[in-house]
Amino acid sequence: MTTADKQAPPRQRKIIHCDCDCFYAAIEMRDDPSLRGKPLAVGGASERRGVVATCNYEARRFGIHSAMPTASALRRCPDLIVVPPRMDVYRGVSRQVQQIFTDYTDLIEPLSLDEAYLDVSDASAFQGSATLIAQDIRQRARETLGITLSAGIAPNKFLAKIASDWEKPDGQFVIRPEQIDGFVLQLPVKKLFGVGKVTAARLHAIGVQTCADLRGFSEEALTAQFGSFGARLFQLSRGIDEREVKVERQRKSLSVENTFAQDLADLPACIERLQELHAQMLKRWQPLQSRYQVGGTFVKLKFDNFVSTTAEQSAESCELELFPGLMVQAWARHQRPVRLIGVGVRLEPRDERASDQLALPLEL
């Protein structure tokens, strides 16, 4: 066999998933030490139908969790302290965390304000040790920003994300290549990326509780049961995930929503709220204009019976006058009092849109 016939083994990736611990609540406790040790939630007021954005670990002992209505959280824990979110502050701290990441690698994929993937496969810090890099990141966040984060280290994104949750809060967990098989075999299928309550219930119905159970099914059998996601289940149950860390995540849309303290009784009341929501959306749209163009506009309504509907149209701008017509369409579908309104735009990358314009000048 010649040298050309020999294939080099695939490069082993080193992925870190960093996840700040109860991020919003941690910042509130940092800025107001009197909140420490007390059950705390960040979210909307109960009288305004607010929901919990996040809560600290003292609150979680009462079964409180994100997306829970604030009123329900207060019933579970009458002593719960609820503070309104300060998004500008959280975004500022998030930028500081991201700046720490850049000292180790340029391959960073933010998932939200409080979590990100880092590919440190070629990092030079700490002789390339992903474990030591994660430890250093966590120490710097604690000492310079006054918050803690947990980290998962693994050869791929799927396992790194699971690992970051293994030693929370303020911990880290490593899954080395030789440990993948043993780790994944005992993993509950509900932990697999993309498996929600419905898919988990379907898997349980066919006797699948863990990845070891899942491996009893061929790829063809899983595809027959779950469509294209069956092939994904087949791979994940073996710890396989070839996704790369994407430095730039492409946005598909931008929207703002408001849940009203009292239902809006009719269509004119809904239209009256558009100007305020539109102004909020424009504020968020400003920093994105250099990279995206508008490809469509939409209005989302949630009625008093919790049924939702969305009306949308193609558009190349997001002027206020584009939204009342969409509101009329959406409201006419159910003609009931409205508890939530959302307005938004579909986004297209500017470079992609420009190439389309050059290729198809007569259609535009």
- The catalytic residues are 115
| Structure token pair of residue 47 | 């009288």
Q: How far is CA 191 from CA 166, 168, 187, 221, in A?
A: 11, 16, 7, 21
| Beta-bridge mates of residue 173 | 152
31 known ligand binder: no
Could you tell me which of 242, 233, 193 has the C-alpha nearest to residue 214? Answer: 233
Q: Which residues contact 257 (CB under 8 A, 6 or more apart)?
A: 277, 300, 340, 341, 342
| Helix H or strand E segment including 262 | strand 253-264
266 known ligand binder: no
Residue 134: how many CB atoms within 10 A of its CB? 29
Q: How far is CA 73 from CA 59, 78, 80, 174, 348, in A?
A: 9, 8, 8, 34, 39
Query: What stretches of 206-322 show up as alpha helix (H) in DSSP?
Result: 211-214, 219-226, 228-236, 267-272, 274-285
Residues annotated within the binding site for Mg(2+) are: 19, 114
Residues annotated within the binding site are: 19, 114
